[in-house]
Chains A and B, each alone.
Chain A
Amino acid sequence: MSSYYFTEEHELFRSSLRAFLEKEVKPNIDKWEEDRRTPRDIWKKMGDMGFLGLSYPEQFGGLGLDFFYDVVFNEELGRMNSGGFAITQQVVQYMSAPYILKFGSDQLKEKYIPGIISGSLISSIAITEPGAGSDAQNIQTKAVRDGDYYIVNGSKTFITNGVYGDFIVTVVKTNTEAGAAGVSLLVIEQKMEGVTARKLKKLGWYSSDTAELSFDNVKVPVENLIGEEGRGFYYLMSGLQLERLCAVPAGVTGMETAIDLSLQYMSERKAFGRPINKFQVLRHRIAQLASEVEALKAFSYHCCKMYADQIYDVKLCSMAKLLTTELGEKVATQCLQFYGGYGFMEEYPMARMYRDVRVGTIGGGSSEIMREILAKIIIDDVSYDAPKKSIVERPIHFTDNSSSEKNEILEEEDSFETLKDGITSRAKNKEALGNTLKFDFGGQQIFIDGTGQKNKVLVENIEADCTINMSLQDCHKLLRGDLNPMGAVMSGKIKIEGDMSLAMKLQGLLG
């Protein structure tokens, strides 16, 4: 694991997310693919677990974490071998809602962002139209101001989540004469009168719904304008970088999955009396693929690090998107070949992977458009005028949003004694830990000896297998259920020394 980019907390998060996905998602994906949709309750579950809104501010229920949590999130989604499943939430978290978060009014944020983080709302981004895809400036959907409303007319196509979603971040022309400067973003609710959706059948991404949308005199309240009129294109240019970048870690782990599965298959499948991983051509092919993926992965982390440091780099994002999606196709086609006839069958994993990767070089700006942008940067010295900051603003230091005055004075009930009693009563009734665990509140300690039949709680500073450093009031919040233990670990509210696996039992112990 790349410890250079990932801390132990990142890895802790990864293992709990992975365990969740293996249990709740993996076994159901075949069904979702068959149903041609991913059901909503999986997102609610993920929201409940604190897996959504990782870098969204805490004010709305997010965790305010750094970008590498998002990287982990995308990496783990990419391992599921279902592009349709992954894209559904990627569109929500990284491609549509961030426009509201970054540029929207407080009212819009309050209305939509909490639902995005809890997993109860599904959003989409509608740029493409039947007549304009790559050439986004040329969109025709019109929004004409009429009193307190915009009247929207036009159509959009290939809109991910556009059938079963709740609201659509829609790119419209508020001024048809002004070119890019006439582009605005409007939040249109799926249930508004005049919005109709037709579900499209696709080559791949079966578990994702893709819509052709039409807007027929849809009355949209002016409050639903995101940011300012005429600034839509500028917002998009910054948002698209995040969109492109998020495809990269998921793409890389998708390729790693293809290689891992192939290695397994090749070690089991025999032809001409030996496992097929003994044939030199196949060995060399795997060797080549593994090298290319490894190199891309390093570049991918580099790009993500830049983004995490709030350095907005169109060149790097475009290069990463281009290389990842192109290599993805190559890896899928070669890995499918290792499977022989089984590769063509839906019962085996490669058929889906092969279908799913194909959209990579088309959606989110085609490979040709990436090369076009890159050529302009490299040859013509064009620089893309864009905000200096990345689209999701993340606090660099953790700040507690519950009022600061409250933090300074400990409320009466938040005393050490009540805490000790709380921990004691819970720990006594739970299964023995099997190890020793210590809470250190900076001066005061509580020691749990879980090596015997039952957990014993002592107010002493004894060397333990695992030490948990946190503030008294955070520990109170934890006991009250106001703080998600994993979120607290990830945000640095809880620091863990020693055996990390013990910390995983925290929720069971205190919950």
Chain B
Amino acid sequence: MSKSHELPRKVYASEEHAMFKKTVEEYFKNYVLPFREQWEKQGYCDREAWLKAGELGLLGITLDPKYGGLGLDFSYAALVIEEQARFGAASPSISMHSDIVIPYIEKHGSEYLKNLYLPKCASGELIGSLAMTEPGTGSDVQAIKTFAEDKGDHYILNGSKTFITIGYTSDFTIVACKTDKNKGFKGISLLIVDANSTGFSKGKPFVKLGLKSSDTCELFFEDVMVPKENLLGSEGQGFIQMMTELPRERMTIALGAIGAVRGALEQTVVYTQERRAFKKPICGFQNTQFKLAEVATQLEVSTAFVDRCTELLVEGNLTPELASMAKYQTSDMQCAMIDECLQLFGGYGYIWEYPIARYYGDARVQRIYGGTNEIMKLMISRSLFSNYFRELKANMRANKQAAVSN
């Protein structure tokens, strides 16, 4: 039963969801939280945590059982993401591996690749990452420079990537690269590159503002030989593939956002009832009451939207624009609301031993990765003003042609 200030969650209403939630909670309590500080120190999480997640089925929730997955719908994956964020656990980056990388292979990979990678991905023996961003370009994915030269039965890959989540611990990376330099977005392809390939090296994990237990790093490719079989789908399809996967990717961020706010709110409600100043609990001040009323309201409003998007995603009907709205609105909300929560902890909010400081550090990147919130608004506005942009494009094309024929 949800409390009267909480929305009943239809997406997670079934008995199966309730049971699954228990497993998930156990996993984080027993196999993640006790190691968090250690992982923060080393900058990445231990493989045991991945293997344990694999054992419990948490790495292949939506994956076809024939490849070792659970074959459940995305709402179960959503639940894992939310719970993980609620616990403030940045690592292991389950969603990156199992909600982004695995589906790329499952949907776009050949049977050969699926058999080779997926069962081990589901068990946690193999961890994958996704590399689009380059030092010179992030928002503008079409402008990537990493190039795979066709050498008959293999490609020779050259270039570099940056900010790659679990790039340091992953055993392979799906690399967005140009297979045709002259074709713009139609020249982009996706290759699976094994971490042990000759010429593939990794930078040290970056020191970051937050997500301290999760490794983010640079990847370098110097004449890396990649077999042709490692191409996902066909050449030139990479950009379209990425676009089709974006809605789910953005939903993982939105779900993380509402999970984190829920966790922060729960902790703040507890803290403000215990902590006293001027002879009352902090929650005795009207300012505290109203601030947390705002946090709770913002959270439920976002939750309603996110749940609806989750349903659409499960049905296969979530548009990129709606997913962009969810990503941008929830991540902005997350930063603002966690800021309010931290404030109510006073000085303790600034001390790392108190989890609210971690929620705060982790939140900030949500407005940046997975496409910045500015890029989200760009996508939304493209749909709002589709006529205008269509004409603009047509005019530009006409001008170009005119220039050529002159």
Structural contact, A135 and B343, CB atoms closer than 8 A? no
Interface assignment of A337: CB less than 8 Å from any CB of chain B? yes
User: Is the CB–CB distance between A362 and B347 below 8 Å?
Assistant: yes
Nearest-neighbour CB distance to chain A for B167, whole angstroms, equals 13
Asked whether B353 is an interface residue with its Cβ less than 8 Å from the other chain, the reply is yes
By a CB distance below 8 angstroms, the chain B residues around A132 are: 277
Question: Hey, which chain B residues are within 8 Å of A367, CB to CB?
Answer: 343
Binary per-residue interface labels of chain A (323-341) against chain B in the complex, 1 for a CB within 8 Å, 0 otherwise: 0000001000100110011
Residue from B140, B206, B339 with most neighbouring chain A CB atoms (10 Å): B206
What does DSSP make chain B's interface, helix, strand, loop or mixed?
Answer: mixed
Q: How distant is the Cα of A259 from the Cα of B138 in the complex, in angstroms? A: 22
Q: In chain B, residues 88-144, which have Cβ atoms closer than 8 Å to a Cβ of chain A? A: 133, 136-140, 143
Beta-carbon contact of B364 and A346 below 8 Å: no
CB neighbours of B143 from chain A (8 A): 271-273
| A347 adjacent to chain B (CB < 8 Å) | yes
Shortest distance in angstroms between B291's beta carbon and chain A's nearest beta carbon?
A: 9
If A344-B210, A362-B347, A368-B285 touch, does A202 touch B357 (CB 8 Å cutoff)? yes
Q: How far is the CA of A358 from the CA of B209 in the complex (A)?
A: 13
Chain B residues positioned under 8 Å from A201 (CB to CB):
351-353
Shortest CB-to-CB span from A247 to chain B, Å, is: 15
Instruction: Give the distance to chain A from B27, nearest Cβ to Cβ, in Å.
Output: 27
Determine the chain B residues whose CB is within 8 A of the CB of A98 once the complex forms: none
Cβ-defined partner of A345 (8 Å) among B208, B361, B367, B372: B208
Task: Establish whether residues B208 and A363, one from each chain, have CB atoms under 8 Å apart when the complex forms.
Answer: no
Distance of A200 Cα from B133 Cα, bound (Å): 36
Interfacial chain A residues near B365, Cβ < 8 Å: 341, 344
Please give the distance in Å from A306's CB to the nearest CB on chain B.
Answer: 28
Q: A337-B372, A347-B206, A351-B208 are in contact. Are A133 and B140 (CB under 8 A)?
A: no
B163 within 8 A of A: yes
A271 touches B342 (CB 8 A): no
A343 within 8 Å of B by Cβ?
yes
Nearest 3 CB-CB pairs, A to B?
A201-B352, A351-B209, A346-B207
Binding site for A on B (CB under 8 A): 133, 136-140, 143, 162-163, 206-210, 276-279, 285, 287, 335, 339, 342-343, 346-347, 349-353, 357, 360-361, 364-365, 367-369, 372-374, 377
CB 8 Å contact bits of A257-272 with B (1 = contact, 0 = none):
0000000000000111
| Shortest Cβ distance from B374 into A: residue | A281
Closest CB in chain B relative to A72 CB, distance in Å: 28
Chain B residue with Cβ nearest A345: B206
Chain B residues, Cβ within 8 Å of A134: 277-278, 346
Q: Which of A138, A204, A333, A368 contacts B350 (CB 8 A)?
A: A204
Which listed residue (A133, A203, A333, A363) contacts B361, Cβ 8 A?
A: A203
Of all chain A residues, the one with the shortest Cβ separation from B377 is A281
Shortest B133–chain A CB gap in Å is 7
Residue of A nearest to B162 (CB): A341
A158 on interface, CB distance cutoff 8 Å: yes
Contacts A202-B357, A333-B335, A340-B368: A363 and B347 contacting too (C-beta < 8 A)?
A: yes
Interchain nearest-CB distance for A126 vs B (Å) = 13
How far apart are A351's CB and chain B's nearest CB, in angstroms?
A: 4
A120 within 8 A of B: no
Pairwise interchain contact A341-B350, C-beta atoms closer than 8 A? no
How many Å from the CB of B299 to the closest CB on chain A?
20
In the assembly, what is the distance between CA of A134 and CA of B287, in Å? 15
9 contacts between A and B (CB under 8 A): A132-B277, A202-B357, A270-B136, A271-B137, A271-B143, A340-B139, A345-B163, A347-B206, A354-B364
Contact of B347 with A341 in the complex, beta carbons under 8 Å = no
The distance in angstroms between the C-alpha atoms of A366 and B350, with both chains bound, is 12
Given A203-B351, A271-B138, A362-B347, A368–B360 Cβ distance below 8 Å?
Answer: no
Q: Are the CB atoms of B277 and A344 closer together than 8 Å? A: no
Per the bound structure, the CA–CA distance linking A276 and B64 in Å amounts to 43
Neighbour of A157 across the interface among B208, B339, B347, CB < 8 A: B347
Closest chain B residue to A329 by CB distance? B339
Total A-B contacts with CB atoms under 8 angstroms apart: 119
Closest beta carbon of chain B to A347's beta carbon, Å? 7
CA distance A363 to B207 in the complex (A): 26
For residue B162, which residues in chain A have a CB less than 8 angstroms away from its CB? Answer: 341
Name the A residues within 8 Å of B357 (CB-CB). Answer: 202-203
Question: Which A residues are in CB contact (< 8 Å) with B276?
Answer: 131, 135
Are B350 and A358 in contact, with the CB atoms below 8 A?
yes
B residues less than 8 Å from A363 (CB atoms): 347, 350
A128 on interface, CB distance cutoff 8 Å: yes
Q: How large is the interface on A (under 10, 10 to 19, 20 to 34, 35 or more residues)?
A: 35 or more
Contact between B133 and A272 (Cβ–Cβ < 8 Å)? Answer: no
Within the assembled complex, what's the spacing in Å between the Cα atoms of A370 and B339?
A: 18
Q: A340-B368, A346-B206, A346-B208 are in contact. List 19 more A-B contacts (CB 8 A).
A: A138-B277, A158-B350, A203-B357, A272-B140, A333-B335, A337-B367, A337-B372, A340-B138, A341-B162, A341-B369, A344-B210, A344-B364, A354-B209, A354-B364, A362-B349, A362-B350, A363-B347, A368-B343, A371-B287
Flag if B277 contacts A135 (CB, 8 Å).
yes
> Would you give the 0/1 interface string for A107-133, flagging 1 where the beta carbon is closer than 8 Å to chain B?
000000000000000000000100111
CA distance A328 to B323 in the complex (A): 31
What is the CA–CA distance of A422 and B267 in the complex, to the nearest angstrom?
72
User: What 0/1 readout, one digit per residue, does chain A (26-45) give for beta carbons within 8 Å of chain B?
Assistant: 00000000000000000000
Say yes or no for A420: interface residue by CB 8 A criterion.
no
CA distance A194 to B54 in the complex (A): 52
A203→B356 CA distance, assembly (Å): 10
CA gap between A404 and B343 in the complex, in Å: 55
One digit per residue, 1 when the CB lies within 8 angstroms of any chain B CB and 0 when it does not, for chain A 365-406 equals: 011100100000000000000000000000000000000000
Closest B residue by C-beta to A276: B139
B140 neighbours in A (Cβ, 8 Å)? 271-273
Q: Which of A132, A203, A343 has the most CB of B within 10 A?
A: A203
Cβ of A454 under 8 Å from chain B: no
A355 and B351 contact, Cβ closer than 8 Å, known pairs A272-B139, A281-B374, A346-B208: no
A341 proximity list for chain B (CB < 8 A): 133, 138, 162-163, 365, 368-369
Compute how far the CA of A202 lies from the CA of B342 in the bound complex, rounded to whole angstroms: 13
Q: Which residue of B lies closest to A361 (CB)?
A: B343
Cβ–Cβ contact A368 & B287, under 8 A: yes
Contact A358 B364 (CB under 8 A): no
- Are B347 and A346 in contact (CB-based, < 8 A)? no
A359 at the binding interface (Cβ < 8 Å) = yes
Tell me, in angstroms, the Cα distance from A270 to B134 when the chains sit together: 12
A199-229 CB mask vs B (1 if < 8 Å, else 0) is 0111111000010000000000000000000
On chain A, the residues within 8 Å of B287 by CB distance are 368, 371
- B342 contact set on A, CB distance < 8 A: 358
Complex Cα–Cα for A157 and B373 (A): 39
- B208 surroundings in chain A (CB, below 8 A): 344-346, 351
Contact B347 A128 (CB under 8 A): yes
Task: Tell me the smallest distance from the CB of B330 to a CB of chain A, in Å.
Answer: 16
Q: In the docked arrangement, what's the CA distance between A423 and B244, Å?
A: 81
A135 to B275 alpha-carbon distance, docked (Å): 11
In the bound complex, do residue A362 and residue B138 qualify as a contact, i.e. CB atoms below 8 Å apart? Answer: no
**Chain A hits for B360, CB < 8 A:** 203, 358
Which chain A residue lies CB-closest to B357? A203
Which residue on B lies nearest to A272, using beta carbons?
B140
In the complex, what distance in Å separates the CA atom of A205 from the CA atom of B163?
25
Contact A337 B368 (CB under 8 A): yes
Residues of B near A329 (CB, < 8 A) are 339
Q: Is A366 in contact with B372, judged by CB distance below 8 angstroms?
A: no
Find A202's partner among B133, B351, B374 (CB 8 Å cutoff). B351
**CB-based nearest A residue for B37:** A201
Compute how far the CA of A352 lies from the CA of B246 in the bound complex, rounded to whole angstroms. 31
**Given A132-B277, A329-B339: A200 and B351 interface contact (C-beta under 8 Å):** yes
Closest to B207 in A: A346
How far apart are the CA atoms of A337 and B376 in the complex, in Å? Answer: 14
Does the CB pair A359–B278 fall under 8 Å?
Answer: no
- With a cutoff of 8 Å between Cβ atoms, the chain A residues found around residue B137 in the complex are 271
The residue of chain B having its C-beta at the shortest distance from the C-beta of A204 within the complex is B350
For A355, the chain B residues whose CB sits under 8 A away are 209, 361
Contacts of B279 in A (CB 8 A): 135
